[in-house]
Chains A and B, each alone.
Chain A
């Protein structure tokens, strides 16, 4: 079974530029998550999709971050314009949506973003 795919793996941009990350979840997984992980901290949820609908985006900085899930499968996360404090690893995860708290998330390798 193929895992969660993310691209690019690394990205360096200057502040005020825009950047986009792509995620392809495990086939058949209804739920998709985007996390931001700053060095030395645990992953912080940015947005959660179920199929192509948003379940939670309360921690997404909506003035600069946006995300969509195309046809309930692939997803993109965009930052525009980027700030220095956006330097972090952006993790995508998916889960099968079992409908219980026994849900297990499967993570991709992440995209490491450096904003200069």
Chain B
């Protein structure tokens, strides 16, 4: 199982770009990297997924270097509503999905 390491918490201000990095040194060749967002009193919600290089959608970008041992979730111009816990998951099909403690992002006015 490719375990992940993320910062426990981050602080930012409205309008700034936030980058959250996840380390996954033991990622397997066929593993995808998936990020989820969780608001209080809600279940996690899929944000973005990638395998290599860069993926962008309407919510975020995901940067994956060539060695794939880490990934960075980028949230452009955050707002107060982006305050949440962000989890990165690696490899789901053959392993027990393991969320870890995630990164608690607090966006200040």
Contacts and interface: CB of A to CB of B under 8 A. Distances in A.
B46 A100 contact: no
Nearest to A100: B93
13 contacts: A35-B99, A42-B98, A48-B96, A48-B97, A99-B93, A101-B32, A102-B32, A103-B92, A104-B34, A105-B44, A105-B92, A109-B41, A110-B41
Interface residues of A, number: 30
Given A42-B87, A100-B32, A110-B43, A105 B97 contact: yes
Contact of A43 (B44, B46, B93): B44
B45 A107 contact: yes
Given A91-B43, A104-B34, A104-B46, 11 more contacts: A35-B99, A43-B99, A44-B99, A45-B98, A58-B96, A98-B93, A100-B30, A100-B32, A101-B92, A102-B92, A108-B43
A100 B91 CA distance: 9
Contact of B101 (A41, A99, A112): A41
Contacts of A41: 101
Interface of B is mostly: loop
Interface in B13-62: 28, 30-32, 34, 36, 41-46, 49, 51
Interface string A55-86: 01011000000000000000000000000000
A45 B45 CA distance: 16
A41 B99 CA distance: 9
B81 to A, nearest CB: 18
Nearest to A93: B43
A103 B96 CA distance: 12
A23 B91 CA distance: 25
The 7 closest A-B pairs by CB, nearest first: A107-B43, A42-B99, A101-B93, A102-B32, A103-B92, A101-B32, A101-B91
A59 B34 CA distance: 22
Nearest to A4: B43
A101 B30 contact: yes
Nearest to B50: A102
A21 interface: no
